[in-house]
Structure 1
Amino acid sequence: MAGYDDRDGNIWMDGQLVEWRDAKVHILTHALHYASSVFEGERCYNGKIFKSVEHSERLRKSGELLDMPLPYSVAEIEAAKEAVLKANGLTNAYVRALAWRGAGEDMGVASKRNPIRMAVAAWEWGNYYGDAKMKGAKLDIAKWRRPDPATIPHAAKAAGLYMICTMSKHAAEAKGCSDAMMFDYRGYVAEATGANIFFVKDGEVFTPIPDAILNGITRQTVIGMLKDMGVKVHEVRINPGDLEGFQQCFLTGTAAEITPVGQIGDYTFEVGELTRRVATDYEKLVRA
């Protein structure tokens, strides 16, 4: 597969479609130096982006949280995504919408005079965790913790917040793991590096309170699905020692979809019936 900078196709940038290889920014782009960037990861199934409007709304909200109001409405963002899929002939794809502070008059921490730019790209992308989606992912336990909400806008899907996630995933992969589970600043179970986490015990589901992590769109979807199934869902603080009592575990996210977890550190989990049912029902839902 060619690198992401060297492919055929079109990318939407600042209101128009451009050739994939021409979708470039200047080296003094503010986001490259100060992480003034927000993004969305979305999946298109059979020609329809799942929860597309919700993603577009969150992109704009993330921009607001970074004091970076996007110059495009939800309707305009929706049209951009549709144009990209059509131009590239894609019906099943991963869609990445991105907004950032560009190069301009400012080249310091402050950047009010720099333009806010936006792009949308799409490509075919299989299982985020490869065959782990079937047999269960193996997770390391990260040394880095999700920060205190008083230090970051944790409700924003902002590029800068993923720095420790990249470092944690690299460390996990070096140990032969698919990903890493992170604790929050208090020491409670938080999430994986790019996915929310759920646990199953005696037919009931437990997941961290999203007060220091991104409340994922897939997370919210799965909680609704479980409640419709009559399954009790507990949003609680989960201590490290609680992992020993859980029987099943799974991750949720646009890229991860529903991925079962077989191991976290020294703790093991079965890929059980409830996890498989949630995964199956989610597959049906996104393709409905």
Structure 2
Amino acid sequence: MASVPFDQLDGFIWMNGEFVNWAEAKIHVLTHGLHYASAVFEGERAYGGEIFKLTEHSERLHESARIMGFSIPYSVAEIDDACRKLLKMQGFRDAYVRPIAWRGSDSLGVSAPNNRINCAIAIWQWPSYFSPEQKLKGIRLDLAEYRRPDPRTAPSHAKASGLYMICTISKHAAEAKGYSDAMMLDWRGQVAEATGANIFFAKEGRLHTPKADCFLNGITRKTVIELARARGIEVAERAIMPEELDSFEECFLTGSAAEVTPVAEIGPHRFQPGAMCKSMLEDYAAAVQPKHAVAAE
């Protein structure tokens, strides 16, 4: 995490087509996105001066906005270009990238179809979501009280800010008890994900992961599935019940912020980070490196 408050960092933020000083990137207190969560965002990482799967993230930002009922006034190509330029302006090689789009403050009420759609991008240096020490031995997860909702009750395939409310509550509760994070079930009682990352389990040389039918199908999740299958590892995307947890040998989380993070505990269930975690950690670390950097080696 940043050692100073985020609103006090130095540098620039791209906002509505312009690069502005970090401290000047502000919104009004009556912004619709603040009051009614009409906002979508992305979490991305730059490695060696290149943003991993940038266009895929920008496309998902547009798709999330579409699901939320608005259109971003900047194309995927324009957002990609702004991200690349901002990364250079910030002077970072390895960094975290946060694009966001939201309804503005033109009017305030549940219905605000004519409010301006704003878009901004911030880039800062943010190490892995979990400390290296935690990752090496495997993190500890609590069992969350809240569940991922039925997709008939929430836009579960959008990376929308409002969907993270129960994630914040669950992670805070877990941290208060000494855990790093929490695992959430879905409305059916099936294993879903952690509060900000997808989850995988390993048993007898195979990977098992919940089917992404009521939560975000993460870009890192899809990357790890591709990497595993390239190794000849079978990946089963299926319903996983809590009663199965004791039968799994290994467990890990995936996400742009979490990258690949081994798990040692989920409530009363224990796992031993081993060969599968190590392989996926190494393969993902290699995959995110810019091609020119790999070629130079």
TM-score interval, normalised by the smaller of the two chains: over 0.9
TM-score by length of 1: 0.99
- How far apart, in 1, do the equivalents of 2:5 and 2:65 lie? 28
Report the equivalent of 1:47.
49
- How far apart, in 2, do the equivalents of 1:27 and 1:239 lie? 43
Counterparts in 2 of 1:61-140, with a 5 A limit? 61-104=63-106, 106-130=107-131, 131-140=133-142
- How far apart, in 1, do the equivalents of 2:279 and 2:202 lie? 12
* Greater Cα offset, 84-93 or 257-266: 84-93
- List, as ranges, runs of 4+ consecutive aligned residues in structure 1 with deviation greater than 6 Å: none
* Greater Cα offset, 165-174 or 131-140: 131-140
Report the equivalent of 2:248.
246
- How far apart, in 1, do the equivalents of 2:7 and 2:19 lie? 16
Report the equivalent of 2:35.
33
Deviations 1:83-125 (A, max 9, x none): 2111111111000000000110x21001112100000000111
Counterparts in 2 of 1:113-192, with a 5 A limit? 113-130=114-131, 131-192=133-194
Deviations 1:195-247 (A, max 9, x none): 00000001111000000110000000000111110001101100110001000
- 2:217 is aligned, of 215, 218, 226, to 215
The count of residues paired between Structure 1 and Structure 2 equals: 287
- How far apart, in 2, do the equivalents of 1:132 and 1:40 lie? 25
- How far apart, in 1, do the equivalents of 2:54 and 2:10 lie? 25
Report the equivalent of 1:268.
270
Runs of 5+ unmatched residues, structure 1: none
Report SS of the residue matched to 2:284.
helix
Deviations 1:150-202 (A, max 9, x none): 01111100000000000000000001111000000000000000000000001
Which amino acid counterpart does residue 266 of structure 2 have in structure 1? I
Superposition deviation, residue 127 in structure 1: 1.6
- Is the contact made by 1:127 and 1:133 (CA closer than 8 Å) also made in structure 2? no
- Is the contact made by 1:181 and 1:193 (CA closer than 8 Å) also made in structure 2? yes
- How far apart, in 2, do the equivalents of 1:157 and 1:201 lie? 30
Report SS of the residue matched to 1:5.
helix
1:15 aligns with 2:17: yes
Report SS of the residue matched to 2:30.
coil
Report the equivalent of 2:293.
none
- How far apart, in 2, do the equivalents of 1:267 and 1:287 lie? 34
- How far apart, in 2, do the equivalents of 1:88 and 1:224 lie? 32
Deviations 1:56-83 (A, max 9, x none): 0000000000001111100000011012
Runs of 5+ unmatched residues, structure 2: 291-297
Report the equivalent of 1:285.
287
